[in-house]
Structure 1
Amino acid sequence: MKQTLKLILIGIAGGIVLAVFLKIIQQITANQAYCLLFETDYVPILQNWSDLIGMGMAFHFITCIASVVVLFYLLKGLHLERRCLPYVLVYTIGGAILFSLTALSENTPAITDVAAWGFWTLGHALFAITVGLLVKYW
């Protein structure tokens, strides 16, 4: 239980790093990659509730927390849970691929927006580094 609570807090910390980074990018460049973090148009059940205040934020953090918990326990089975590199590889590559979901919504950057893809992928790399280091040293 104590380990799971730590993983939840690590997911929240990583989610904050990712959101703050993309928000700063949005403020500096006007690039809208930040908007994809909170988009629920492509999730059949959640798209009906997307107008609820905080739904996108809850979606973002639940996704961050779930991904940290699941990946930790998958890596634990391989005895790799305390190494940073698996987190960096999975979250960075996974984030780069997940950007394709932008094609499913009109509220996000275009699938052809290379800058948005780059910022999105870099943000996920920062998320990964944050998670990997916290798992390793906390």
Structure 2
Amino acid sequence: MKDVLKLSISGIVAGIVLMSILKIVQLIAGSDAYVLLFNTDYIPLLPDWGPEDIGGVAFHFIFCIVSVVALFFILGPLQLEKSILPYFLIYTIGSAVLYSLTGLTEREPTIDDPFSWAYWTSAHAVYAYAVGWLIKHWL
């Protein structure tokens, strides 16, 4: 139970890092990749909470927590749960692919915006490193 709490906190901390990076990119470069963190348009059972409403922010953090806890336990049998590389590869490649979900919504950014894709993927690479580092050094 103690590990799940630490993993949850790691997900929250890394989620804040991810949000902060994409918010800075939005303010400096004008990219709307930040909006994708909170977008639930493409999930039929969830209401449209808007880009930064409390529901969208909750969605972001719930996803961060669940993905960190789940990936930690998936990597456990392989004895890779405290290695940074699997987190880096899975989250970075996964986010690069998941960017395509933007094609299912009317909101910006568009699916064919290479800069938003690069910002999104790079920010998730930092998120992935943060998750891996926190797990390696804290758990």
Q: TM-score with structure 1 length normalisation?
A: 0.96
Tell me the percent identity.
Answer: 53
Which whole-Å CA distance do the structure 2 matches of 1:82 and 1:27 have between them?
A: 34
| 1:55 alignment partner in structure 2 | 55
In the TM superposition, what whole-angstrom CA distance separates every residue of 1:37-90 from its partner, at most 9, and x where no partner exists? 0000011111x2525940100000000111000000000111000100000000
| 2:89 alignment partner in structure 1 | 89
Query: Structure 1: which 5+ residue stretches go unaligned?
Result: none
| 1:120 alignment partner in structure 2 | 120
SS of the equivalent of 1:45 reads coil
Give the AA of the match of 1:44: P
Q: Which runs of structure 1 show a deviation greater than 4 angstroms over 4 or more consecutive aligned residues?
A: none
| 1:6 alignment partner in structure 2 | 6
The Cα shift of 1:108 comes to: 2.6
5 Å-filtered alignment, 1:20-31, equals 20-31=20-31
Q: TM-score with structure 2 length normalisation?
A: 0.95
SS of the equivalent of 1:131 reads helix
| 1:19 alignment partner in structure 2 | 19
| 1:80 alignment partner in structure 2 | 80
Query: Structure 2: which 5+ residue stretches go unaligned?
Result: none
Which whole-Å CA distance do the structure 2 matches of 1:58 and 1:12 have between them?
A: 11
Q: CA RMSD in A?
A: 1.2
Number of aligned residue pairs: give it: 137
Which whole-Å CA distance do the structure 2 matches of 1:60 and 1:109 have between them?
A: 17
SS of the equivalent of 2:38 reads coil
Give the AA of the match of 1:125: A
Which whole-Å CA distance do the structure 2 matches of 1:130 and 1:120 have between them?
A: 15
